[in-house]
Structure 1
Amino acid sequence: MHEDDTSPLLSAVGVKVFRTLLGQVGYVASCTRPDVTLAYLYLSRFLASPTERALRLLLQTVRYLHSHPSLGIHVRPSSDPTKLTAIEHGDSSFGNAASPHPQTGWVVFINNSPLIWKSRRQSRIARSTTKVEVLALEEGIDAALHFVNCAAPFYSNIRVGIGCDVANVLSLLLSGASSSTKHALYPIIQEMQDKACDVPLQAATDLVEQHRIGIFKIPTDSNLSDLPTKALNLGPLTRLMSPSPSLSPVFGSEIVSFLPPLALHDRPTMEKERRGDGEELTA
């Protein structure tokens, strides 16, 4: 039984209904509805032992989905098909005494539409909010790099900016101020290559300096990744999921447009892989 739910357990029939509905909600949460991602993740904790309260919350989520059928991923055309500008918002929730595991999440927007997103409860417990935000930034960077690698063969000009709303993390990132111990270990980690994980802040600093990613400060009230990590008002996110063409730009759009295009060092390799088996183009 979950730590904050003392309601009775469901019968065998109720368990089957709960798991069936939860699977359906999970499908739309991962494909087209980031607005129910946090609800799905929370209810998934009851999968082994569903309770009456969990079923009520699940039914509320299903009713919400039925009452907003037009919300989804609306892909809008770009003014220049050779250029791609992506804005990623990342954030975290520190947790509390009853549930100390932090929740981290990110959302990538293309032309004001959420395209890919993720929210998950961390298995480890962070000792400070700064550590949690660094963890969220690390996951956001991983997602941005993966996205760039997938998009690089199709665009000649790519800009990706990651928004962070914590001044302490940005100060550490810009100063490269990892601890002296981490700085001492970094050469050893580099020698080990893929046998060890890079120190997150040092790795992020290197990626910024190499123009592989861009990072900017975002006001907390404009951070749309707050919604997949905290139980907040869904309005700012659902407005971007509506079919309406009159939309305010996602915060960071103007900032990212002034960033230099990403330095895609492995573009020749990507082009060969796209053609297949490293074959060269013929005239």
Structure 2
Amino acid sequence: MIKTTPLHQNDSTPFHDPMLYRQLIGRLLYLTNTRPDISFATQQLSQFMATPTINHYKAITRVLRYLKGSPSQGLFYPTSSTVQLKGFIDSDWATCPDTRKSVSGYCMFLGDSLVSWKSKKQTTVSRSSSEAEYRALGLASCEVQWLTYLLLDFQVPFIQPALLYCDSNSARYIAANSVFHERTKHIEIDCHVARERLQNKLYHLLPIHTTYQVADIFTKAL
């Protein structure tokens, strides 16, 4: 996608065949099961299925040209690696020009194998970048909990706790230190599930430089 021109509603003439646009989106949604590199683009384009415009169709054809030019891209699963859950969390604050909602993104690795990823627009407007990052952390912590239950059900031995990497200092401080909660009462209660699971030692929350933030690809066009 083009970084400098974010898509929004009614940005050009309506597309003459909305059904074709919806069919292409449906195919891209299935393809994200093996191509995480198009997750963000598909998430962005799927917002306009009701009333797609010419610019939206041009953007989706750009994704199709990218796929045609990179048929060898995919997921690689090594035969031997450390069996430990590792996750990367990121968000892009107020990225939607129509609603000013933020985008959450995460990716989960089992050892060196990518096993789960998501790019999703948040349900409410965040009043700060810290809140947006913290909501993304809450979403990722739920995924870690689910993957942990799954491995236990399959009786797969793995290293605990999981490791979560977040490039937001404020989000990590809020999750680790209850003193910060007085400044963040506007954050919904369910977001504090991240702190509860951190205290229960489900995962370790570690810093990472933005340059090495793998989840960046799920929150913005790169």
In the alignment, residue 231 of structure 1 is paired with which amino acid? A
Aligned-partner SS, 2:83: strand
Inter-partner Cα distance in structure 2 for 1:28 and 1:119: 14
Change in Cα spacing, 1:46 to 1:150, as seen in structure 2 (3 Å) is same
Aligned-partner SS, 2:152: helix
Quote the residue 1:115 is aligned against: 115
Which segments of 5 or more consecutive residues in structure 1 lack a partner in the other structure?
Answer: 184-196, 233-283
2:27 is aligned, of 24, 47, 57, to 24
Change in Cα spacing, 1:213 to 1:51, as seen in structure 2 (3 Å) is same
Pairwise CA distance, 1:101:
0.6
- Does residue 7 of the first structure (1) align with residue 12 of the second (2)? yes
Inter-partner Cα distance in structure 1 for 2:191 and 2:48: 33
1:173-214 Cα shifts (integer Å, max 9, x gaps): 23232435999xxxxxxxxxxxxx85534x434423332222
1:29-65 Cα shifts (integer Å, max 9, x gaps): 1x11111111111111220112111111111111111
Quote the residue 1:152 is aligned against: 152
Quote the residue 1:214 is aligned against: 204
Which segments of 5 or more consecutive residues in structure 2 lack a partner in the other structure?
Answer: 1-6
Quote the residue 1:200 is aligned against: 191
Quote the residue 1:47 is aligned against: 49
Aligned-partner SS, 2:49: coil
In the alignment, residue 56 of structure 1 is paired with which amino acid? K
Pairwise CA distance, 1:22:
1.5
Change in Cα spacing, 1:204 to 1:26, as seen in structure 2 (3 Å) is closer
Aligned-partner SS, 2:218: coil
Pairwise CA distance, 1:115:
1.6
Q: Is the 8 A contact 1:91 1:226 kept in 2?
A: yes
Inter-partner Cα distance in structure 2 for 1:5 and 1:158: 49
Aligned-partner SS, 1:177: helix
Inter-partner Cα distance in structure 1 for 2:67 and 2:184: 47
Inter-partner Cα distance in structure 1 for 2:96 and 2:64: 29
Aligned-partner SS, 1:77: coil
Structure with the greater alpha carbon radius of gyration = 1
Identical aligned pairs, as a percentage?
23
Aligned residues: 211
CA RMSD of aligned residues (A): 2.3
Q: Is the 8 A contact 1:101 1:121 kept in 2?
A: yes
In the alignment, residue 14 of structure 2 is paired with which amino acid? L
Quote the residue 1:249 is aligned against: none
Q: Is the 8 A contact 2:83 2:111 kept in 1?
A: no
Quote the residue 1:129 is aligned against: 129
Pairwise CA distance, 1:231:
1.2
Inter-partner Cα distance in structure 1 for 2:41 and 2:53: 15
In the alignment, residue 33 of structure 1 is paired with which amino acid? R
Change in Cα spacing, 1:74 to 1:119, as seen in structure 2 (3 Å) is same
Quote the residue 2:78 is aligned against: 76
In the alignment, residue 156 of structure 1 is paired with which amino acid? P
Change in Cα spacing, 1:138 to 1:69, as seen in structure 2 (3 Å) is same
Aligned-partner SS, 2:72: coil
- The 4+ residue runs of structure 1 with deviation greater than 6 A are none
Using structure 1 for the length normalisation, give the TM-score. 0.68
